[in-house]
Amino acid sequence: MKIVDCPEDQVVVFLEEEYGYRSWVWYTGKSEAELIEWWKNLETVSPYFFTPVGLPGTLKEQLYPDEGDERLDGGVYTYAENSTNNKKIFLRLPKSFWTGHIHEDGDSYLHHDKHGYVVHRGRCSRDEEGEPC
């Protein structure tokens, strides 16, 4: 199995779908500024409710190691971005990386240490208890 670093020419988001239902590696094809602008202008995440496939860029499902795979830390098992033969790789996490959650308008976000939480246009402004979402 090949060990690779995250690409530096685009933002890669480690995306959780509906509280652990599935996890994805989202190769956005965008710079940080482009991703933030695109996400902030997104009216709703409803088209991605059942699956985030359809987000711009490429999505590859995060995998579990198979029996016999070397157990590695500091990254995720997935498929290579441009893989057509579903060749498994170990993608090393950079020191600072993007994460996200996608499900419904009220709970979907992107996050990065440098930028904090980034919410889309369709996200509520207050939750049920009156706290900012």
Q: What is the pLDDT along the chain (133 residues), one digit of tens a residue?
A: 889 999 999 999 999 998 778 999 999 999 999 999 999 999 999 999 889 999 999 999 999 888 888 888 999 999 888 877 778 899 999 888 999 999 999 899 999 999 999 999 888 654 555 555 5
Q: Which residues contact 93 (CB under 8 A, 6 or more apart)?
A: 6, 14, 74, 75, 76
28 within 8 A of 11, measured Cβ to Cβ: yes
Beta strands in 7-128 (DSSP E): 12-17, 22-27, 58-61, 75-79, 88-92, 98-102, 109-112, 116-118
| pTM metric for this prediction | 0.87
